[in-house]
Amino acid sequence: MNIFKFGGASVNSADGVRNFVKIVQSYREEMIIVLSAMGKTTNALEEIVDAFAAKKDGIESKVDALQTYHTKIINELFSKKDDAVFSKIESLFGQLRAYLQKSPSLSYEFDYDQIVCFGELISTTIVSEYLRLSGTPNKWVDIRTCLKTDDTYKEGRIDWELSQRLVPQAFGFTNTFVYVTQGFLGGTKTNQTTTLGREGSDYTAAILSYILDVDKLAIWKDVPGIMNADPKWLPDAQKLERISYQEAIELAFYGAKVIHPKTIQPIKKKKIPLQVRSFLSLNESGTLISTASKKQDQLIPVYIRKQDQVLISIRPSDFSFILEENLSSLFSIFAKHQVKVNLIQNSAISFSVCVDNSDRRLKNLIEEISTKFEVRYNENLELITIRHHNSEAVERMTNGREILLEQRSRDTAQFVLL
């Protein structure tokens, strides 16, 4: 059994969907397909969530634009206008519009999950129907019915015990060889929709791989494999042929966009190999993540860039020392507001962190910290991380740039740059 995860870029057009079907039909094994929302649909839905939460005008036009995008793809794929896919997609957009007619709840995160989930529900419906039309019978599964989480909206935590009981029932391979389901989504015990965090579709595929003991997990991207830098940023980026689970976890932790940070842990426990492949070039082998030792890792410099960063400097108002009780209080505030820290550095009387500029959460975080501490911050920064750094790599990243904060270890160097 194989699990294939496809990102939104792979099905962002009718031609993309056709190419996706070509890949699927080139395999004859039992298969579970985990799919993201099409193209930039999640971004568009996030804009709708923000407008909904702020009770702004113009929501209807945003939904219309999103429906037009998907309808164009359907029209190019399905020649018969009475095909079931048209009514199914119309129904999903009807459900979305009905939700948006309500008043926002008191939880932005709850509303976020109930709205953004339509991206994956729509994409999987279209793809499942087109696979059927193309001669590949398959079963569409609503992942929310079997992948169960707690009610931490936007960052659902997996209920492993319940999911391990329900997932094998949903994917039993009794009447079909191919399943199509959604990445990124989960459901609570009371059947409320949750999401697993941005880019959580990779994590979904890893969870299913772990529970179902699959032979191999493949994640299909628009790059040849895992590169030592984003080729859109550094055109001379090189592909890493093979890396260990440990190295993959490190790269994901520091923000490499190819893999979701939580993806590696489940498959590492059962030593399930992960192949990162390009849906644009089927002959390329991609990058294998497996039990390779550290000696087998390609120890060339790996460059990771995180943009739109905020450097926050915190110190007690009375200039007292930053002691354990201060740190405990600060970390509890960061956890409360779900703000992930990308870099930490502290001195006797100050504590500095670099974080993503997640507007809503960050504003509330700074307001709360400011009640007890003196806070300063800089916006519009970059955080550059270099794994396996050397002097040439550091010079390449920092030459001519103002370094606001620097941190180095044996394997990793990080720089917050203006």
Q: Show Cβ contacts of residue 416 under 8 Å, excluding neighbours closer than 6 positions.
A: 309, 311, 343, 354, 381, 382, 383, 403, 404, 405, 406
Both tokens assigned to 153: 């909206």
pLDDT of residue 36: 97
Q: Show Cβ contacts of residue 66 under 8 Å, excluding neighbours closer than 6 positions.
A: 41, 44, 45, 48, 93
Q: Is the per-residue pLDDT at 78 higher than 80?
A: yes
Mean pLDDT (the chain) is 92
CA distance 128 to 178: 10
Instruction: Answer whether 1's CB lies under 8 Å from 167's CB.
Output: no
Instruction: Answer whether 312's CB lies under 8 Å from 375's CB.
Output: yes
CA distance 44 to 123: 14
Residue whose pair of structure tokens reads 């720089």 in the numeric block: 415
Amino acid at 107: S
Mean pLDDT of 381-396: 96
For residue range 248-299, list pLDDT tens digits in order. 888 888 888 778 778 899 999 999 999 999 999 888 889 999 986 555 556 7
Nearest 5°: CA angle at 276, between 272 and 278?
150
284-297 in b/e form (b: 16+ CB < 10 A) is eebbbbbebeeeeb
pTM (two decimals): 0.85
CA distance 190 to 399: 54
> Coil, strand or helix: which one is 203?
helix
Q: Which is it for strands 341-346 and 373-387: parallel, antiparallel or unpaired?
A: unpaired
306-344 in b/e form (b: 16+ CB < 10 A) is beebbbbbbbbeeeeebeeebeeebeebbeebebeebbe
Q: pLDDT over 70 for what percent of the chain?
A: 96
